[in-house]
Amino acid sequence: MLKAVLFDLDQTLIDWDDVEPWEDYQFRRFEAVLDLVHAEMHPAENIEPGRMFAVFIEQSARLWRECVATMRSPHVVTMMQETLKECGVPEEHLNIDAVMNVYTSQLPHGQRIYPDVRDVLGELRDHGLELGIITNAAHPMLYRDRELEAVGIMDLFPRCRISAADVGYLKPHRAIFDHALRELSLDPAEAVFVGDSLTTDVEGSQGIGMYGVWLDRVQDEAQVITNDVIPDGTINSLYQLLPLLDQWYPGWRGG
């Protein structure tokens, strides 16, 4: 019996294609952070946004490299702490909670949901299904929830919103999928996972016994060529998910 559909977040539900350039977005965030740092945290010298950007990118790249072998998730708080330390902010004056609140309050310009998201997820919910998010973000959901609120889908996920940063492991590691199923008190056969990555989303969910659906919005031949993962279903739009559910779970629309 189908009880839940779980989703990847970025490029599955949230469309980043028309978001402002990443460097512009990060500079806005760092400028806001540095206003706070210079006012309250006594750095050894004035820190320019460009300097902070360069150090942060270096720290981020290092932490993401380290996770490749272990599938342990990097964490944005660690990135920020190491960045500010290297930029000369004394540890005893660093209020990381205040820094992260300012940093994550700056939302990306141009972020939006795909046109099919509200319709399809609303229909799934109306038929009594639980909905959930599992994202490989280095940001805890405490911060990513602000994006969900901004794009208007926070209400669709009252119980299950999980970031790799919260669990400590990245998809396709089974720990993050197990965590979601425990939150919803479900067995793998009672849930379907939908995402845009054959490796992290499909292979990971199939590995614990869920149906894994590949959402190929952009006809990504490169993933097919470089991957031997075979999804249980391939769709180009979330609207195509509903017939798959009819096939796998006849009668699911009856609740």
Structure tokens given for 233: 């279903």
Contact of 6 with 213, CB cutoff 8 Å: no
pTM of the model: 0.95
Q: What share of the chain in percent tops pLDDT 70? A: 100
pLDDT beneath 50: ranges in the chain = none
Give 134-186 pLDDT, tens digit per residue.
999 999 999 999 999 999 999 999 999 999 999 999 999 999 999 999 999 99
3-class SS at 33? helix
The kind and range of the H/E element at 204 are helix 204-207
Query: From CA 213, how far away is CA 234, in angstroms rounded?
Result: 6
Angle subtended at Cα 203 by Cα 236 and Cα 130, rounded to the nearest 5 degrees: 70
Query: From CA 211, how far away is CA 203, in angstroms rounded?
Result: 10
Contacting residues for 2 by C-beta, under 8 A, at least 6 apart: 129, 190, 191, 192, 245, 248, 249, 252
Q: What is residue 255's predicted lDDT score, i.e. its pLDDT?
A: 61
Amino acid residing at 140 = P
Dihedrals φ, ψ of 78, to 5°?
Answer: -60, -45
What angle in degrees, to the nearest 10, is found between the helix axes of 96-105 and 76-86? 110
List, in sequence order, the alpha helices (H) in 106-200.
117-126, 141-151, 164-167, 174-184
Give 30-46 pLDDT, tens digit per residue.
999 999 999 999 998 99
Q: DSSP string spanning 88-113?
A: T--GGG--HHHHHHHHHHSPPTT-EE
Q: What is residue 250's predicted lDDT score, i.e. its pLDDT?
A: 96
The kind and range of the H/E element at 57 are helix 49-70
